[in-house]
Chains A and B, each alone.
Chain A
């Protein structure tokens, strides 16, 4: 039996982007299952370093027997392409950040997110199947009246992390300080202001020999980044280091240098850095929000409704209570075993079965 071609459409394709990494893992898995598979995105939204790994959206011309997966998280020109496809269409929903987070910081992005949410029901309604990368996201779709939303948990692969940490980063940050780490773009839904306030209390009242590393692009919402810089000044806490975007080797070094990973993000569809941190052996603390419980599984530390001072004490507790730390690390090791033993090929085959066995027009 000839296996159908299965391609993926993306709104953009960038280094360190969770959706891009997931698409790469899916492409490799699909190829290993015997399907021809490629990625396509608007060239204006593809990182220059990744141009070879991704075809141009305008060149995408699938046949009626082909299958297309569309990774959806924001309004983009890929939507029009997806809706005109003659073959089977699968929407992969990655969550749309509520537009309210961007009000005042970036009116254009807020508008794009609003449009994306309005379009979501139409696009999903026209797709032959709807997959979601977490149960949290699926619940959102079901609340819109969609039925038969299937969950394909966001695949995790350690590929974004180089095997060896960047020596330049290691040398620059070699001072023996207790290091807390956050990885992710600086966007309002990440609630970095909560993290900075908690860290200021930790640094000033509990452990002055400490620093907070924030690794991720500060260009995705410049007005929010400006607010955070002003906040660092207000808190008079120079040990908050905004490191910017990191290469795979740089990212690896940041994880290796750190003692604890912390996320105060309020809205996440899934949150892969939590798994990266577990993979690199760091205890993880995260706000219990959105798709975070699914990403963390039965592992790590999750909190709700903590003031900055309380969060600072929780950080201290996890770092200083050896018994608690061992318990957390044991839980995280089990979670990583679970992630490693996942059979993505089998999951995809099972999800594709009804689509491959029901040619377009017969459903």
Chain B
């Protein structure tokens, strides 16, 4: 890592501070690690639009479902902050039943949409293959 402040190289001074800070952070709170082959960033490896499309449809399959697992509620600190977190937790418990039902329906719709997308692509590829074969056949007749 290199750091320039006002065009002056200050890596020697700032990099150790950054390294020290990194050691004190709770890495468990960081973003979840996703297997590279199904991570969104794997789309960067697509070599063409067609390749991108194929990868995207495959990745969407892994992201059909909205989950209803509890999530972190940021705490601003102080009495007011703690109260707000408590209220939000209670609200989530009260709403979860209705929420789960809505999400159940939404997930069905999501699954249907990604299936439709996949079927559409398969059908289009089959059609292209058929047309290519037909062109080849016509060219051979000449």
A209 within 8 A of B: yes
Contact with B along A284-317 (1 / 0, CB 8 A): 0000100001001111111111110110011011
Known: A309-B22, A327-B6. A104 touches B49 (CB 8 A): yes
Residues of the B chain whose Cβ atoms lie less than 8 Å from the Cβ of A201: 30-31
Q: How far is the CB of A52 from chain B (nearest CB, A)?
A: 37
Q: Are B1 and A303 in contact (CB under 8 A)?
A: yes
Residues of the A chain whose Cβ atoms lie less than 8 Å from the Cβ of B140: none
Known: A230-B43, A299-B7, A303-B2. A105 touches B52 (CB 8 A): yes
A97 to B56, CA, bound (A): 25
Number of interface residues of B (CB under 8 A): 40
User: Which residues of B19-34 are within 8 A (CB) of A?
Assistant: 21-22, 25-27, 29-32, 34
Q: Are A310 and B49 in contact (CB under 8 A)?
A: no
Q: Are A206 and B25 in contact (CB under 8 A)?
A: yes
A297 to B44, CA, bound (A): 32
Q: Are A227 and B14 in contact (CB under 8 A)?
A: no
Which of B's residues lie within 8 Å of A, judged by CB? 1-7, 14, 17-18, 21-22, 25-27, 29-32, 34, 39-41, 43-49, 51-52, 56, 59, 63, 71-72, 74-76
The 8 sampled A-B contact pairs (Cβ below 8 Å) are A104-B52, A197-B31, A200-B30, A204-B31, A234-B39, A313-B21, A324-B5, A328-B5
Which of A's residues lie within 8 Å of B, judged by CB? 103-107, 188, 193, 197, 200-201, 204-206, 208-209, 223, 226-228, 230-231, 233-237, 288, 293, 296-307, 309-310, 313-314, 316-317, 324, 327-328, 330-331
Task: Add 17 more A-B contacts to A223-B43, A227-B43, A302-B7 (CB < 8 A).
Answer: A104-B49, A105-B49, A107-B48, A201-B31, A204-B72, A233-B40, A234-B39, A288-B2, A300-B6, A304-B1, A304-B2, A307-B1, A309-B30, A313-B18, A313-B22, A327-B6, A328-B6
